[in-house]
Homo-oligomer: A and B are copies of this chain.
Amino acid sequence: MPTIRDVAKQAGVAPMTVSRVINNSGYVSEDTRTRVEEAISRLGYVPNMLGPSLRFNQTNTLALVLTDITNPFWTTVARGVEDAAQEAGYSVILCNTDESEAKQDQYLTMLLKRRIDGILLVPSTSTSNVVQTIKNQGVKVVVLDREVNDTEVDVVEGDSVGGAYQLTRYLIELGHQHIAILSGPQNVSTSSQRVAGFCRAIEEANLSHNTANIYWGEFSQTLGHEMVRRALQSTPRPTAFLAVNNFIANGALQALREMNIRVPEDVSVVSFDDIPVSINPMPFLTVAAQPAYEMGYQATQLLVARLVNAGPETVQKIILPVEILIRQSSGEPPQGPGNESWNTVS
């Protein structure tokens, strides 16, 4: 593999002159430039970024640390990140933590060893001090989707409280009196904030505010499935479910189907996170859609701004609005006991 010295020798100049040609910096005569360019293409020379990276401690690399790229929400976020990074001249290293703090820490130390310039972090819990650890190493961070305690850090997230509030109000206006929320882990801000939005709507409507209607679980299909089964055994039985993310919603739908409970005739299901129509051309779920691409894109732009010491001076907390999309999974609650034929089925 040829180096800048090989090119220099070929062209009969000093390495520095080759560098000037490559980077279009300083003065180079037309004649020299041509000779150098010829040498470059003859040798098939490709500059080695590692040299300057080591020297100036700048890798032009970002990391995107998220829970699972397989979830279409994160996929879309990732695409936004990648596009913004690419435009700014950065590469993106992808890391899936699967919500595990251990995996997250493992990735993080690896990333620090690589001297990446910045991290877009979806923290696996809100309670850890990851962010501080990263910042101590002089690496810039923007937190995505979730808030963390204690630390002054830029955050870009969807409007969890507002989204949950709106979804719940919508269900209440349809006439639902018994609504259960199927949530994720208690120590993840999106979970707790969506529960908070839910509670606010419930209280405002003077509905029986029963903590028994709050189910804490995981952002997974399995837990969605399980939580619905548990919820259906409570009295009064819920006539509507608010799933806190798409995986939970799917688990819920699956459980309901298994029990021959019709959606939306028997129960309504609403959820956070939309699936792009390119993936699901016949969307069924009523959802609070977060602007996933925008989240990734804006967070990355903010991070890049921090890296070049531009951007706003104060710590940013950007809350992007969600959009309520009403579809077929929600409707009025069943009237009277006659319609509850499915009671016996489960």
CA gap between A109 and B284 in the complex, in Å: 43
Contact A112 B275 (CB under 8 A): no
Contact A82 B96 (CB under 8 A): yes
Chain A: interface size category: 35 or more
Measured CB to CB, the closest approach of chain B to A330, in angstroms, equals 16
Copies of this polypeptide in the complex: 2
Is A175 among interface residues, defined by CB-CB distance under 8 A?
A: no
Is A165 among interface residues, defined by CB-CB distance under 8 A?
A: no
Report A197-255 residues with CB < 8 Å from chain B CB.
Answer: 221, 246-247, 250, 253-254
CA gap between A68 and B282 in the complex, in Å: 21
Measured CB to CB, the closest approach of chain B to A129, in angstroms, equals 13
Mark contacts of A59-101 with chain B using CB atoms, 8 A cut-off: 1 yes-contact digit, 0 otherwise: 1010000001111100110110011000000011111100000
Report A243-282 residues with CB < 8 Å from chain B CB.
Answer: 246-247, 250, 253-254, 257, 275-282
Majority secondary structure, A binding face: mixed
Contact B72 A279 (CB under 8 A): yes
Q: What residue of chain B has the Cβ atom nearest to residue A293's Cβ?
A: B70
Give chain B residues whose Cβ lies under 8 Å from the Cβ of A250: 277-279, 281
Contact A114 B69 (CB under 8 A): no
Measured CB to CB, the closest approach of chain B to A137, in angstroms, equals 6
Name which of A33-41, A43-51, A310-318, A333-341 contacts chain B.
A43-51
CA gap between A137 and B275 in the complex, in Å: 41
Contact B278 A279 (CB under 8 A): no
Q: From the candidates B44, B48, B113, name the one contacting A136 in the complex (CB within 8 A).
A: B44
Is A54 among interface residues, defined by CB-CB distance under 8 A?
A: yes
Measured CB to CB, the closest approach of chain B to A104, in angstroms, equals 12
Contact A75 B70 (CB under 8 A): yes
Give chain B residues whose Cβ lies under 8 Å from the Cβ of A49: 113-115
Contact A59 B50 (CB under 8 A): yes
Given A79-B96, A82-B96, residue A50 in contact with residue B115 (CB < 8 A): yes
CA gap between A112 and B284 in the complex, in Å: 45
Contact A110 B91 (CB under 8 A): yes
Given A49-B113, A137-B44, residue A78 in contact with residue B82 (CB < 8 A): no
Closest 7 CB pairs of A and B: A50-B54, A250-B281, A49-B113, A46-B112, A94-B94, A91-B93, A75-B75
Q: Can you pick out 28 interface pairs between chain A and chain B where the beta carbons lie within 8 Å of each other?
A: A1-B138, A46-B113, A47-B113, A49-B114, A49-B115, A50-B53, A50-B54, A50-B59, A50-B115, A53-B54, A68-B79, A69-B75, A69-B82, A70-B76, A78-B94, A82-B94, A82-B95, A82-B96, A83-B96, A92-B93, A94-B94, A221-B277, A221-B281, A246-B279, A250-B278, A275-B280, A279-B279, A282-B284
